[in-house]
Amino acid sequence: MHDPALSIPMYIKVRVKPGARAEEVIKESDDHFVVSVREKAERNQANSRVLEILRAMFPGKSVRIIHGHQGPSKLVAVD
């Protein structure tokens, strides 16, 4: 029987392109995405929007940035 308390998070690599004209998600592989967002890379705006987009892609899952809070390349945990 599967116990969700013992689930291992999935890690994905995300490359963020802030300040884009249009929002877009490109899946380059199973664990690598490029996410373009309109928000600027100021005051955590782009990170917040990226998390919103990823949470919509993985409903019912916890999505959080593990590494790369201040740069365009991020490691994100989905569990």
| Average pLDDT for 9-27 | 96
pLDDT at 7 over 90: no
Minimum mean pLDDT range among 6-10, 15-19, 49-53, 54-58: 6-10
Give the whole-number percent of the chain exceeding pLDDT 90: 89
pTM, two decimals, is 0.87
> Which band of pLDDT confidence, cut at 50, 70 and 90, is reported for residue 4?
low
Would you say 13 and 75 are in contact if contact means Cβ atoms under 8 Å apart? yes
* Fold classified for 8-78: Conserved Hypothetical Protein Mth637; Chain: A; (3.30.1200)
